[in-house]
Structure 1
């Protein structure tokens, strides 16, 4: 069983859909990180929101964490796709 099975068109398209879904998921993580970052800056800069200032700092700290989780997930899934399906 050392021979690799030839993939049919349906399988190749399924792999491509998985790759696109992986990128789409990363973009969702990226979008969330950008929104948290901008909301954190907005809360810190507005004088009217002085009572929720710790929330602004929390959002600023959470933004790079979300982005790094998204990036790690993108790389992890990409490696597994390449590992199992060499096209």
Structure 2
């Protein structure tokens, strides 16, 4: 089904689905930023030196979260495009 053959309702549904996918990726990215900044804050503050392991854990988890978000984003984008193309 080509985009020019789609009804306006179907085309708007496609756009909404793509925007929802982008919003979901941005939620993953926000979570990445929070974990990363929390990890660095724990490592830099002298008062929290007893929680150093937690800081490293947050930094590692942040990169796992962003990789999952990227993989999910591209997977869903590919599925959306294959469904409507």
The TM-score normalised by the length of structure 2 is: 0.92
Q: Indicate the SS of the match to 2:6.
A: coil
**Hey, what does 1:80 align to over in structure 2?**
79
Distance across 2 between alignment mates of 1:51 and 1:66:
25
Is 2:6 aligned against 1:7? yes
**Hey, what does 1:70 align to over in structure 2?**
69
* Number of residue pairs aligned between Structure 1 and Structure 2: 83
Distance across 2 between alignment mates of 1:8 and 1:60:
46
Distance across 1 between alignment mates of 2:77 and 2:59:
28
Distance across 1 between alignment mates of 2:36 and 2:78:
29
The TM-score normalised by the length of structure 1 is: 0.90
Instruction: In structure 1, list runs of 5 or more residues that go unmatched.
Output: none
Q: Post-superposition shift, 1:50?
A: 1.4
Greater helix content: 2
Q: What is the correspondence of 1:53-64 to structure 2 with a 5 Å cutoff? A: 53-64=52-63
Q: Post-superposition shift, 1:7?
A: 2.1
